Amino acid sequence: AQSVTQLGSHVSVSEGALVLLRCNYSSSVPPYLFWYVQYPNQGLQLLLKYTSAATLVKGINGFEAEFKKSETSFHLTKPSAHMSDAAEYFCAVSEHAGGTSYGKLTFGQGTILTVHP
Amino acid sequence: DAGVIQSPRHEVTEMGQEVTLRCKPISGHDYLFWYRQTMMRGLELLIYFNNNVPIDDSGMPEDRFSAKMPNASFSTLKIQPSEPRDSAVYFCASSSQRGLIRRGETQYFGPGTRLLVL
């Protein structure tokens, strides 16, 4: 069974500061990993995904994440926060092809990012 | 493409009434997912379909909930009878796995239906 743990339900940073949102996963098979962002009153939008190519993945809006197998982590970072980054962020895991739950995403509980001036 | 389309965007109903939520996936996508989002429980997968066939409905809370996908371009999630605890935002998402079997495919989410049961 797969699971995702996001450490910290709320993260607050100053504009221009580093953003670090933590995600740890548990999976019995090599996973695919995703970060989604949800702006208020909207659906989820993909930020980036790891699919067993490069371990450092770059996404939209200056975000990136690094897959670390030894730490079972996939933390999301951005060097300099912008006010428009304020949103809720979800980490998710899915199985490789051949898994019984192929195609299904398991989401973390989400982290609300607040950016203050 | 217009993306995943959901209707209605907002629904207010009274306890005991039947509620039907609708979803049109992105054309060509062969997976469709229904999620529920609440403050208490976060984002939960209710059911998902592959090629119009339900694959996993283990997340459906109880018999009051049912989902259908009569064709590749339409799905419904029905709650009958509705209860106040069903109040949530319901999302539909779709993805395509065809020909990309070795790569994790993105799920594209609709804007959601905000349901309030009084």
Condensed to tens digits (0 to 9), the pLDDT of residues A45-80 reads 999 988 877 889 999 999 999 999 889 999 999 999
Nearest Cα residue to B117 out of B7, B35, B15: B15
Q: How many CB pairs under 8 A join A and B?
A: 60
The secondary structure of chain A in percent helix, strand, coil, rounded to multiples of 5, reads: 10, 55, 35
Examine the pLDDT at B99 and tell me if it is beyond 50: no
Residue B69's pLDDT is 97
Q: Across the interface, do B101 and A97 touch by the CB < 8 Å criterion? A: yes
Percent of chain A residues past pLDDT 90, beyond the cut: 67
Residue B106's pLDDT is 81
Q: What are the φ and ψ backbone dihedral angles of A70, each rounded to 5 degrees?
A: -65, -30
Handedness of CA A53, A55, A59, A65 (dihedral sign): positive
Average pLDDT over residues A80-98: 86
Average pLDDT over residues A10-21: 97
Examine the pLDDT at A115 and tell me if it is beyond 50: yes
Residue A74's pLDDT is 95
Q: Across the interface, do B55 and A103 touch by the CB < 8 Å criterion? A: yes
Examine the pLDDT at B98 and tell me if it is beyond 90: no
Confidence of residue B102 (pLDDT cuts 50, 70, 90): very low
Residue A103's pLDDT is 65
**Would you list which residues of chain B are within 8 Å, Cβ to Cβ, of chain A?**
4, 31, 33, 42-43, 45, 48, 50, 55-56, 91, 93, 95, 97, 101-112
Q: Residue A33's closest chain B neighbor by CA?
A: B104
Average pLDDT, chain B: 90
**Poorest-pLDDT segment among B74-78, B99-103, B113-117:** B99-103
User: Token digits for B6?
Assistant: 């959901």
Q: Across the interface, do B31 and A42 touch by the CB < 8 Å criterion? A: no
Residue A94's pLDDT is 81
